[in-house]
Amino acid sequence: MADTLGTTRVTVTRLLKVT
């Protein structure tokens, strides 16, 4: 569960950085 949450957070951060 922690891994999934961590990955999701990284993905969100990446999307925000791209934007």
pLDDT tens, position by position, 1-19: 578 888 999 999 999 998 7
15-18: long-range contacts at Cβ-Cβ below 8 A with a sequence spacing of 24 or more?
none
Q: What does pTM read for this prediction? A: 0.15
For residue 9, what pLDDT is reported?
94
Q: How far apart are CA 10 and CA 1, in angstroms?
A: 14
Q: How far apart are CA 18 and CA 12, in angstroms?
A: 10
For residue 16, what pLDDT is reported?
92
Tokens standing for residue 7: 């990955």
For residue 13, what pLDDT is reported?
94
For residue 11, what pLDDT is reported?
93
Q: Is 19 helix (H, G, I), strand (E, B) or coil?
A: coil
